[in-house]
Amino acid sequence: MKFAHLTLATRDVIATAEFFESTLGWQKIRHDDNIETKAAWLEIGPGQELHLLHVPDFVPTPYEQEFGRHVAIIVTSSQFEQLPQRLVERGATLIEPKRETPFARFFFRDPQGYVFEVIDEDGYLAATS
């Protein structure tokens, strides 16, 4: 079994897709044409996708946090160093972790209000092997 996709609601599909393309390098791909709302599909890894769906009255919940709902991603060490600045330049808010781990990581809130955890791949692999 492997992860297929994650679906996120957004008030602005185009801006949200552009945010993920310009910060995380996720690429737009085809999307199903049987959807009656604006949508965008992004490839986040081989065979893994993020689906963005337009929900005009979307509001993030108060559970978007480290000890709540968030999306965790692992990035290469070279990406990890440069990513925080790119995120902030494009409207994200950096969040300090509430607990220490044996590997480097940080959290950010995207412009739609979702929280993501970014983990340094080298440190994670070293700590878990």
User: Does the structure show a pLDDT above 80 at 120?
Assistant: yes
Answer yes or no: do 87 and 50 share one domain. Answer: no
Tell me, yes or no, whether 61 lies in a domain: no
At residue 129 the predicted structure's pLDDT band, cuts being 50, 70 and 90, is: confident
Answer yes or no: do 82 and 123 share one domain. Answer: yes
Answer yes or no: do 114 and 76 share one domain. Answer: yes
Answer yes or no: do 76 and 121 share one domain. Answer: yes
Tell me, yes or no, whether 44 lies in a domain: yes
Provide the whole-model pTM: 0.91
Tell me, yes or no, whether 85 lies in a domain: yes
Q: How far apart are CA 92 and CA 94, in angstroms?
A: 7
At residue 114 the predicted structure's pLDDT band, cuts being 50, 70 and 90, is: very high
Tell me, yes or no, whether 24 lies in a domain: yes
State the pLDDT at residue 34: 82
State the residue range of the domain holding 12.
5-54
Closest CA to 20 of 107, 111, 104, 105: 111
User: Does the structure show a pLDDT above 90 at 124?
Assistant: yes
What DSSP assignment string belongs to 67-115? TSB-EEEEE-HHHHHHHHHHHHHTT-EEE--SS--SS-EEEEE-TTS-E
Q: How far apart are CA 125 and CA 76, in angstroms?
A: 11
State the pLDDT at residue 49: 94
Q: How far apart are CA 30 and CA 118, in angstroms?
A: 26
State the pLDDT at residue 36: 83
Average predicted confidence (pLDDT) for the chain: 93
User: Does the structure show a pLDDT above 80 at 32?
Assistant: no
DSSP state of 126: H
What are the pLDDT digits (tens) for 40-96? 999 999 989 999 999 999 999 988 998 999 999 999 999 999 999 999 999 999 999
Domain harbouring 76, CATH code:
3.10.180.10
Tell me, yes or no, whether 101 lies in a domain: yes
What six digits make up the tokens of 95? Answer: 């969040």
State the pLDDT at residue 33: 79
Tell me, yes or no, whether 119 lies in a domain: yes
| Number of folded domains that form the chain | 2
Closest CA to 52 of 109, 113, 10: 10
State the pLDDT at residue 86: 96
